Amino acid sequence: MKAIFQKYGLVKIHKNRNSRDGIFHWTSAGFNRWLTNPVLCGHTAYLQRITTSKGKRKRNKPEDWQIIYDTHPEHRLITDAEAAEIQQILLFNSKTGHFSFNQHPNNPVCYREYAYQTGLVFCAECGSKCITKSAKHQQGMYYYFACRYAGMGCGNKKSTRKSTIENALINILVQRSQTLANQLDEQPTREQEKSEKLKQLESRLEALEKILGFDPDLEKLKQKIRLQIAEEINPFLCDSILNKSTEEIIRAGNHLAIWHTLSPDEKVKIYHQIVHQITIRNAEVEEVILKI
Ligand SMILES: [Zn+2]
């Protein structure tokens, strides 16, 4: 969260938390609560909220929740082992404030932007593990994956840009999560009510994504709109999450903007837990194989 706030120059504002006034309310506590919700592991948690002796509702301590295991095992998004790992990471981060041994103390991000792709990308033609490449262009550096045997027996000669791989991966994740959410709710779902602002932002982003070619300014603009969308649909807004059902929480975590706004460190941990392999062929992603 700190990385996101610093990177995008967002200021955390504590007043008017309950109003829809367009200020970025996404708290790291809210995101952590979402990540650690037993619902994602196929369990159901009761007593998440309790009534105090004074009649007020408040959050119960997670260790006091009554968890009914495997209420929807076929729809789990995260295994128990992965959930334990996520807990470990959060605990580690809470103790160290994201500090790790290989980073500069003034620079809280220890992984590079696409570091999580290392070890996951394979050649669709010959099956070998791809190698990373970079090229300097007028607008800055471009980063790619390429087959190590390109031109030496393998016909997959054109490298694939890391940003292309990321976009394909995120699209697949959102599709998969939406399928899971739809399976959970077998009755026809009514179209989620979208605010006018959200519809506008989504169509702006769609228009920008149709522009071919790579331009860092354009990428910055797209990222800005994604953050605005995340803010609109913000599932981690403290009070709104309390009234949401299981399905709604999972569905809320399914928007493109949420994946796009993870920090490089979060991506390394989370994507390595859920992605098995990505194959590429001639500048395109051919297949994304998830672990679920
Ligand atoms: Zn190859």
Residues paired with residue 132 on neighbouring β-strands, in sequence order: 145
pLDDT 10s digits, 76-118: 666 777 777 666 666 655 544 443 444 444 555 578 889 999 9
How many CB atoms are closer than 10 A to CB 52? 8
Q: Domain residue spans in the chain?
A: 2-100, 115-290
- C-alpha distance from residue 108 to each of 17, 100, 111 (Å): 27, 9, 9
Evaluate if residue 51 carries a pLDDT over 80: no
User: What pLDDT, in 10s, does the model give residues 113-131?
Assistant: 899 999 999 999 999 999 9
Indicate the pTM of the whole model: 0.48
Residue 143, φ and ψ in degrees, nearest 5: -115, 140
What is the spatial distance between Cα 283 and Cα 274, in angstroms, rounded to a whole number? 23
Calculate how far, in angstroms, residue 148's C-alpha sits from the geometric centre of ligand 1.
Answer: 7
Q: Is the pLDDT of residue 199 over 70?
A: yes
Contact 262, 271 (CB under 8 A): no
Q: How close is the Cα of 159 to the center of ligand 1, in Å? A: 10
Residue 249's pLDDT is 37
Surrounding residues of ion ligand 1, Cβ less than 5 A:
123, 125-126, 147, 149, 154, 156
User: Taking 50 as the threshold, does the pLDDT of residue 189 lie above it?
Assistant: no
Distance 156 CA to ligand 1 centre (A): 5
Q: Which of 99, 213, 105 is nearest to 161 (CA)?
A: 213
Q: How confident is the model at residue 6 (pLDDT cuts 50, 70, 90)?
A: low
pLDDT of residue 134: 92
In sequence order, the 6+-apart residues with CB closer than 8 A to the CB of 206 are none
pLDDT of residue 1: 54
Residue the block writes with tokens 């840009």: 161
Taking the C-alpha atoms of residue 54 and residue 209, their distance in angstroms, rounded to an integer, is 53
Owner of token pair 């981690």 = 236
CA of 138 to the centre of ligand 1 (A): 29
Query: How much distance in Å is there from the Cα of 287 to the middle of ligand 1?
Result: 14
Confidence category of residue 292, pLDDT binned at 50, 70, 90: low
Bridge partner residues of 145 (DSSP): 132, 160
Which one has a higher pLDDT value, 71 or 125? 125
**What is the distance, to the nearest Å, from the Cα of residue 246 to the centroid of all Cα atoms in its chain?**
18
Whether the pLDDT of residue 45 is over 80: the answer is: no
Higher pLDDT, 236 or 171: 171
Provide mean pLDDT across the span 161-174. 90
SS3 per residue for the chain:
CHHHHHHCCCCCCCCCCCCCCCCCCCCHHHHHHHHCCHHHHCCEEECCEEECCCCCEEECCHHHCEEECCCCHHHCCCCHHHHHHHHHHHHHHHHHCCCCCCCCCCCCCCCCCCHHHCCCEEECCCCCECEEEEEEECCEEEEEEECCCECCCECCCCCEEHHHHHHHHHHHHHHHHHHHHHHHCCCCCCCCCCCHHHHHHHHHHHHHHCCCCCCHHHHHHHHHHHHHHHHHHCCCCHHHHHCCCHHHHHHHCCCHHHHHCCCHHHHHHHHHHHEEEEEEECCEEEEEEECC
122/133 Cα distance (integer angstroms):
14
pLDDT digits (tens, 9 = 90+) for 252-283: 456 677 777 777 877 787 777 778 899 999 99
Distance 118 CA to ligand 1 centre (A): 16
List the strands of the sheet with 275-281, edge to edge: 121-123, 275-281, 284-290
Q: How far is the CA of 126 from the centre of ligand 1 (A)?
A: 4
User: How many angstroms is it from 249 CA to the middle of ligand 1?
Assistant: 40
